[in-house]
Amino acid sequence: MAQTDGQPEGFHRRLEGKGALFAILCTVAISIGGLVEIIPMFSAATGPEHLEGVTPYTPLELAGRDIYIREGCYTCHSQMVRPTRAEFLRYGEWSRAGEYAYDRPFQLGSRRLGPDVHRVGGKYPDAWHYEHMRNPRSTSPGSVMPPYPWLHEDRLDPADVRASVVAMKRLGVPYTDADVEGVPAQLRQQGTEIVARLKSAGITTDPDHEIIALIAYLQRLGRDGRAAIAAREAAAAPRAAR
Amino acid sequence: MTSVSAATAASPAYDDDIVKLFFTATVTWAVVGMLVGAIIALQIAWWPANLGLPWTTFGRLRPLHTNAVIFAFGGNICFTGIYYSMQRLLKTRMWNDTLSRIHFWGWQLIIVAAAVTLPLGMTQAKEYAELIWPIDVAITLVWVVFAVNFFGTIAVRKVGHLYVAIWFYMSFVLTIAVLHIVNSLALPATLTRSYPVYAGLTDALVQWWYGHNAVGFFLTTPFLGLMYYFLPRAAERPVYSYRLSIIHFWALVFLYIWAGPHHLLYSALPEWAQTLGMVFSLMLLAPSWGGMLNGLLTLKGAWGRLQKDPVIKFMVVAVSFYGMSTFEGPMMSIRSVNALSHYTNWTIGHVHSGALGWVGMISFGILYWLYPRLYRRGLALPGWVTTHFWLATIGIVLYTVSMWAAGLTEGLEWRAIGADGQLKYPSFLDIVAQLQPFYWLRLLGGTMYLVGAIMMAINFIRSAGARGVPVAEPALAAR
């Protein structure tokens, strides 16, 4: 190479003649930042803050979360209310690290083509979500969201949901063996409750439709966290008053 | 392409068939990836384009677009340039032809697998790392094959010193291996579904350490390596500063890896990590501009060629956009700026000024420079190259300007608070409605860019046929 020929002999010039050493130094250079940032995340003192009262997803919610992932909802919706006044007014309580303790993969998102959904749990009735997913413009005029009519026809496979619960348990999510065995029964029970609420709104459907799982997940979003934050603040209040 | 002159004449000792394979794949996936981009841009502007089918909705096609342009188009142009330049820089054939073929066909199979699984909704839902675990395993294996061949070729080289392009290629091969493996660690639940070993914010940090460095080490360092090889050749000028290339190489690879947390500013990520991400992103400006300046100043004394050589045009615009987007990036990493820009179209505009402006334009320049040297034929439609250049350049401007405008509009309106202390624009949907014109403008810009790429593909196809003018060996003067 004419460009570097005739360069002064120096440390770097010698290094350029040693491929293996160059590769090792390069690996060291690209490793330091990652190690410094990632390792402290596994320590209680420097990692994400724990939030007492956040519980694992039920099997139906987990199935709903897998549907949320499958449909790529994260490409348009964030799950991270930032700690600003405007976000508090628009979405509610800002998001805490401990709320995501059982989120695998995380779904913070990077884009708000639609609104943040981290505090959507309990914001609308089940029937709203049912209609919104079938035809977003029926509940939200002017929305650019695509309709998801297949969720109202396709059905959950309990064995598939069980496989998810088993994997989560192996990863350390505190499910018991009884939880794993009880997956079909839990799916039916929580699904039936949602179907009953839909029925009172004039909608007839089955508890094993995918839309039921998605509603269970969306209605769960941010509720544990909100209750846990309120409880923590209530506990701290008397001390603050003193 | 009549300005063909300086090139190392391909020696039979070099394996140029593998370069041709990657060349063809690059052009093919460029058109496919950008076409999917235009489709999803249309879907945002006009929702019925989602077609009401599961496998054609935005949420499933968006990852297909990003994966196709980054790993199919971006990956294949890197491999094209690396296999071409590496053999010439090291004055030796690739170490093992079989490994080269396994790398090529393995990579294309991975892309096809991605194109099938993503529309089917099979995803890990981590941006640019969506592919399901069996494909992740395949990527690891193919990458190891590539790395063995890469370092094997370095080991059998017939020159003493490694040229700066090789340093950048090396950082690409090593870092992508580390990033891919660490970020993809997951426990399979079924054949198509898995869950990461990290949870919550830890998963987010690992993902954005990966995600930002996919930009850094998949879309930046290998392309800087390509710039260091192809720009001096196209300009017939030596690299401006050897010393600058040393400083900016080591500073860039060391600093880049820290910048990931700037994707999580104002999130629940621990404060110290957010601060590290912001500070290192700001520092990154210096080595990024070191690379840009070294590229632009290499053209010192060759600016006259800018007017007549479309290859130089593409490369100059590419390096300029590299400089612009590596200025914009650090600015967006400042917490107060990020508070406005995050979650908005501004980010999309920023990404595309880098992707269309830097990665795309330098790739087109390289492809046009390589074609006569690789295939020993002139282009059938030389005039189209300049048309492609202008379509692409104007397309990028329309794209980025419309996304800036859309991003500022939504960012400001989301957070506007009136005198009464309440939200000035409480209806999210009202803000969405205001963005419609910008989305159509973006689609126009993106479509122009796509049409340019299609013109390039047609040009190459036509040149392969009877209309291509054979270029005699001596015309490609050896240097």
Tell me, what CATH number does A137's domain have? 1.10.760.10
Residue of B nearest to A149 (CA): B52
Please tell me the distance from the alpha carbon of residue A13 to that of residue A4, in angstroms, as a whole number. 9
**Residue type (1 letter), A193:** E
Residue of B nearest to A3 (CA): B238
Q: In the CATH hierarchy, which top-level class contains the domain B16-475?
A: mainly alpha
pLDDT band (50, 70, 90) for residue B301: confident
Averaged pLDDT for residues B231-244? 94
User: Looking at the domain assignment, is residue A54 inside a domain?
Assistant: no
- Quick one: pLDDT at residue B41? 98
Domain count within chain A: 2
Same-domain pairing of A201 and A83: yes
Same-domain pairing of A24 and A129: no
- Quick one: pLDDT at residue A9? 78
Burial of B6 (0-12, 13-18, 19+ CB in 10 A): middle
Same-domain pairing of A158 and A237: yes
- Quick one: pLDDT at residue B10? 44
Averaged pLDDT for residues B349-356? 97
From B259, B245, B174, select the one nearest B216 (Cα to Cα).
B259
pLDDT band (50, 70, 90) for residue B465: confident
Same-domain pairing of A89 and A150: yes
Q: Of the candidates A7, A19, A164, which has its C-beta nearest B154's C-beta?
A: A19
pLDDT band (50, 70, 90) for residue B468: low
Same-domain pairing of A2 and A112: no
Q: Of the candidates B59, B193, B257, which has its C-beta nearest A33's C-beta?
A: B257
Please tell me the distance from the alpha carbon of residue A78 to that of residue A72, in angstroms, as a whole number. 11
- Quick one: pLDDT at residue A240? 57
Same-domain pairing of A112 and A179: yes
Sign of the Cα pseudo-torsion (A222, A226, A228, A229, in order): positive
Contact B133, B184 (CB under 8 A): yes
Q: Which domain holds residue A25?
A: 1-47
Phi and psi angles of residue B174, each rounded to the nearest 5 degrees, phi first: -75, -50
Please tell me the distance from the alpha carbon of residue B318 to that of residue B230, in angstroms, as a whole number. 13
Question: Any residues with CB less than 8 A from the CB of B213 and at least 6 apart, and which?
Answer: B175, B179, B256, B257, B259, B260
pLDDT band (50, 70, 90) for residue B6: very low
At A177-216, the pLDDT tens digits run 999 999 999 999 999 999 999 999 999 999 999 999 999 9
Contact B212, B259 (CB under 8 A): yes
Same-domain pairing of A96 and A2: no
Averaged pLDDT for residues B327-354? 97
CB pairs under 8 A between A and B: 274
CA of residue B191 relative to chain centroid, distance:
30
- Quick one: pLDDT at residue B478? 38
- Quick one: pLDDT at residue A236? 85
Whole-number mean pLDDT of chain B?
94
Phi and psi angles of residue A17, each rounded to the nearest 5 degrees, phi first: -90, -5
Q: Do A72 and B58 make contact, defined as CB atoms within 8 angstroms?
A: yes
pLDDT at B9 over 50: no
Mutate to test the interface with B, among A46, A75, A160, A161 (most CBs of B within 10 A): A75
Q: Do A110 and B347 make contact, defined as CB atoms within 8 angstroms?
A: yes
User: Looking at the domain assignment, is residue A156 inside a domain?
Assistant: yes
Q: Do B170 and A22 make contact, defined as CB atoms within 8 angstroms?
A: yes
Q: Do B238 and A3 make contact, defined as CB atoms within 8 angstroms?
A: yes
From B473, B85, B13, B237, select the one nearest A2 (Cα to Cα).
B237
Binding-face residues of B in 28-87 toward A, CB within 8 A? 43-44, 47, 50, 52, 54, 57-60, 62-63
Residue of B nearest to A62 (CA): B195
Same-domain pairing of A32 and A149: no
Q: How many residues does chain A have?
A: 242
Same-domain pairing of A64 and A119: yes
For B471, the 3-state DSSP assignment is coil
pLDDT at B479 over 60: no
User: Looking at the domain assignment, is residue A10 inside a domain?
Assistant: yes
pLDDT at A29 over 90: yes
pLDDT at B205 over 50: yes
At B164-186, the pLDDT tens digits run 999 999 999 999 999 999 999 99
Q: Of the candidates A33, A90, A104, which has its C-beta nearest B199's C-beta?
A: A104
Residues in chain B with CB shorter than 8 Å from the CB of A49 are 268, 270
- Quick one: pLDDT at residue A2? 41
Question: Any residues with CB less than 8 A from the CB of B425 and at least 6 apart, and which?
Answer: B413, B414, B416, B431
pLDDT band (50, 70, 90) for residue B466: low
Q: Do B200 and A100 make contact, defined as CB atoms within 8 angstroms?
A: yes
